[in-house]
Structure 1
Amino acid sequence: MPSSDVVVIGGGQAGLAAAFYLRRAGIDHVVLDARPVPGGAWPLTWNSLRLFSVARHSSLPGWPMSPFPDGYPTAQHVVDYLTAYEKRYDIPVQRPVQVREVGRDEHGLLVHTDNGTWSARHVVSATGTWWRPFRPSVRLPGRQLHTVDYAGPQEFAGRKVVVVGGGNSGAQIAADLLPHAELTWMTRRPPRYMPDEIDGKALFDIATRHGGVGELGDIVAVPAVREARDSGLLVATPMDDGVLADADAVLWCTGFRAALGHLAPLRLRAANGRIAVDGTTAVEEPRLHLVGYGSWTGPASATLIGVGPTAKATVAKIAASLA
């Protein structure tokens, strides 16, 4: 049975940030990634997706992302950056390795995969949320898709499409579909745009100082969204069951949940679906650490710029334990 001081589950941005600090601390570690290629979930996003920040404010620890000529980087630019980051720091990623579950024995934690079992003194779970989309249980005659299923507008040309969701994904996808489909954008309440000068760097600063950005709004006005909004064409309407039923396709931009199924054998999840943490360390299993799942595992920790501080703090705690 192979063993490592630390097994990191997930080779996306959170896993790479953790590996950076583990490498710097000289701690033996391995990263197990289910994807066949680098980049985490970024290669699976829609073609027109843009980050909320320019490249210099969208970087992992140690090495800045290269500038993007048009301001806000595309998803492919992020994939290229994460691929190069992995090579630059010689991060020990094994892929594709699917982690099935994490359990315990008398010596530590056991990470069971489709390619054998690893023994670990500590486990960093960095699987994110993309793999667990929230899909409303609604019966409709047309196609139903989620953000994760959307690649671009071409397949919806000339069709009646309803985009549901008042967050960034809903606004960006609705703007993307506008020139191609007979679009209806539905939100539970009127869209709340953040001030146009707000970007991801400002959001990170506010989140780390004040613990949340909800008062500012829900949507960052990236250029495509701003243009569609200012043209008067990107207009949200209230939820309407009749319009939903008449649509050729409904795109649910309704968010995600933490992908924690592999941790089920540890029996740590509370009624709200989360695991109680002290920082990023599981309260009832201090050898388990959760990095990059959102505000409950650190301010802005599900973002490129925000995951670094929580990854650093996590590794410092692991290093102290191993010492």
Structure 2
Amino acid sequence: MTVSPATPMGLAALEARLRQDLEWLELPAKSWVPPREIDGRRVRDVVIIGAGMAGLVASGMLKRLGVDNHVLYDRAPAGLEGPWVTFARMRTLRSPKQLTGPAMGLPALTFRAFYEAQFGRAAWDALDRAPRALWMDYLIWYRRMLDLPVENATEVAAIHARPDGILALQIVKAGVTEVVHARHVVLATGRDGLGGPYVPSITETIDRRYWAHTADAIDFEALKGKRVAVVGAGASSMDNAAVALEAGAARLDLFIRRTDIPRVNKFTGIGSQGVVHGFAGLPDEWKWRFLDHTLRAQTPPPRPSTLRVSQHPNGHFHLGSPILDIEERDGHLVLTTPKGRYDTDFIIFGTGFRVELMSRPELADFAPHIRLWRDRFPVPADMPNVELETSPDLGESFEFLEKTPGSCPALKAIHCFNFPATLSHGKLSGDIPAISEGADRLARGIVRSLFVADRETHFATLQAFDTPELQGDEWTDADAPSQEASHAAE
């Protein structure tokens, strides 16, 4: 039967095809890691903190390689993991629709397959970019199809290193605290995974009810009829400004420090498998040069996001307008820029994130020992960059390295699979395009570490294995004396 490209095959048919693909590829691989126990409870081979896109594909890769004794903890309820239906406010993803993202090289696991199965090829051809909420639906489907072991509404409050090298995680679920032991921990904790949202120090002078960061939960309905200011010109700033306008803000002022909005996405211009697999091999000075240039140029907001703001006559763009002062006056704020003073009722800061290890309670034991790039590399005088200076210096499998060798050996078992890994590995752990390649690098490194650590057990298994493949009756030794000759000699 020939199916028209316009006829959706349906998710059930796609799921059957995916199951067949996995069976043909003998996936997932058989479990092979020797079990360990502490106090009668199984030690997890890997705990993944975060069940967003990065955490899911990391889990998928581990399962694919036979490390099935792992778990993902996410503090969000099921279906709300990651930013997609929480603080992400764009209508569609910013990445091109055809990127295979977390599919791990399996065609039937791609977003395209998921979309076409439901809506058909013609709908795919007409689609510009993936709708944000539908992308979340895809990740929920992805999790279900790979049967990934996610535990929701579970927070990792602390991680401690035991003398035997095992990590003890204090987890909290439904108000109950327990300890889970793990050999490796993966931080799949997103943009703010090693710190939190950044806001300028000027916010310290104003009441918290007057402002929010783009990563906060914002009651946009409460902004109806209000004067709203947004600081920044990135994608999140544009998206939040648009939502405020669409919610009925009386006036929207977008304050942009630069004299022009960035227009060229520099890193897209060199996007290739060469960058994906080659960036980690660059000398330090070249890694720094590539990312410093990219960060200074900044990533432009998507054209649809920008038009979403400018189509409103009460949306105002102010270029060359950094915030110099904020003053609280008569129940509202007055913002001062080089170009004037502006009354506003609420400010949304689209000012990004920063690495601040000590702000992460789960890393409190380890933060003083984690080596950053400023500890590794002399910062070029002509290229100072705070974001790069505070990036963690990571090993080949995204593992933290010690600032002082021998001071904290357990760091090698904690893997930073989130956005701040970019300077060490390239853009493999925070964005859609190369997330599968990043997860593959991560999982293979963990597999190598687990096998090497258990080498004595594996060797003992090798020695003890005695299941014969031959029974001894499959051949005859041509030079052995025959039974007739033996009888004649008697």
Q: Look up the equivalent residue of 2:141 and give its one-letter code.
A: A
Distance 1:225-1:152 versus aligned 2 partners, 3 A rule: farther
Q: Is the 8 A contact 1:110 1:119 kept in 2?
A: yes
Q: Which residue does 1:192 correspond to in 2?
A: 261
CA distance in 1, matches of 2:295, 2:51: 29
Q: Is the 8 A contact 2:257 2:322 kept in 1?
A: yes
The one-character-per-residue Cα deviations of 1:208-230 (angstroms, maximum 9, x if unpaired) are: 47744446642132423146458
Task: Point out where structure 1 has 5 or more consecutive residues left out of the alignment.
Answer: none
Q: Which residue does 2:363 correspond to in 1?
A: 263
Decide which of 235, 244, 247 is 2:335's aligned counterpart: 244
Question: Normalized against structure 2, the TM-score is what?
Answer: 0.58
Q: Which residue does 1:118 correspond to in 2?
A: 180
Q: Is the 8 A contact 2:256 2:317 kept in 1?
A: no
Distance 1:214-1:58 versus aligned 2 partners, 3 A rule: farther
The one-character-per-residue Cα deviations of 1:79-105 (angstroms, maximum 9, x if unpaired) are: 111111111111111122110111111
Q: Look up the equivalent residue of 1:76 and give its one-letter code.
A: A
The one-character-per-residue Cα deviations of 1:155-183 (angstroms, maximum 9, x if unpaired) are: 32222111001221112222443463311
Aligned counterparts, 1:154-169, within 5 A: 154-169=221-236
Q: Which residue does 1:64 correspond to in 2?
A: 110
Q: Look up the equivalent residue of 1:109 and give its one-letter code.
A: L
Q: Look up the equivalent residue of 2:161 and give its one-letter code.
A: R
Q: Is the 8 A contact 1:126 1:292 kept in 2?
A: yes
Aligned residue for 1:174, secondary structure, equals: helix
Q: Which residue does 1:296 correspond to in 2?
A: 423
Task: Point out where structure 2 has 5 or more consecutive residues left out of the alignment.
Answer: 1-40, 116-123, 280-289, 327-333, 337-342, 373-388, 403-410, 452-490
The one-character-per-residue Cα deviations of 1:221-273 (angstroms, maximum 9, x if unpaired) are: 24231464589965233024364273100111111235851122124345765
Decide which of 4, 8, 23 is 2:48's aligned counterpart: 8
Aligned residue for 2:364, secondary structure, equals: helix
CA distance in 2, matches of 1:135, 1:146: 7
Q: Deviation at 1:185?
A: 0.7
CA distance in 1, matches of 2:93, 2:260: 19
Higher relative contact order (CA 8 A, sep 6+): 1
Q: Deviation at 1:297?
A: 5.2
2:252 corresponds to 1:183: yes
Q: Deviation at 1:133?
A: 1.6
Decide which of 381, 389, 399 is 1:281's aligned counterpart: 399
Q: Is the 8 A contact 1:165 1:187 kept in 2?
A: yes
Aligned residue for 1:224, secondary structure, equals: helix
Q: Look up the equivalent residue of 2:412 and give its one-letter code.
A: P
The one-character-per-residue Cα deviations of 1:116-144 (angstroms, maximum 9, x if unpaired) are: 21211111111123572223332236711
Aligned residue for 1:40, secondary structure, equals: coil
Q: Which residue does 2:211 correspond to in 1?
A: 144
When structure 1 is superposed on structure 2, of 163-172 and 297-306 the one drifting more is 297-306
The one-character-per-residue Cα deviations of 1:280-300 (angstroms, maximum 9, x if unpaired) are: 111122111110224235322
Decide which of 99, 110, 131 is 2:156's aligned counterpart: 99
Identity %: 24
Task: Give the helix-richer structure, 1 or 2.
Answer: 2
Q: Which residue does 2:141 correspond to in 1?
A: 84
Q: Deviation at 1:192?
A: 3.0
Q: Which residue does 2:317 correspond to in 1?
A: 235
Q: Look up the equivalent residue of 1:263 and give its one-letter code.
A: L
Q: Which residue does 2:75 correspond to in 1?
A: 34
Q: Look up the equivalent residue of 1:162 and give its one-letter code.
A: A
CA distance in 1, matches of 2:424, 2:245: 36
Count, aligned residues: 321
Q: Deviation at 1:190?
A: 2.6
Distance 1:60-1:186 versus aligned 2 partners, 3 A rule: same
Distance 1:46-1:293 versus aligned 2 partners, 3 A rule: closer
CA distance in 2, matches of 1:42, 1:147: 13
When structure 1 is superposed on structure 2, of 81-90 and 44-53 the one drifting more is 44-53
When structure 1 is superposed on structure 2, of 103-112 and 150-159 the one drifting more is 150-159
Aligned residue for 2:446, secondary structure, equals: helix
Q: Is the 8 A contact 1:101 1:263 kept in 2?
A: yes
2:59 corresponds to 1:19: yes
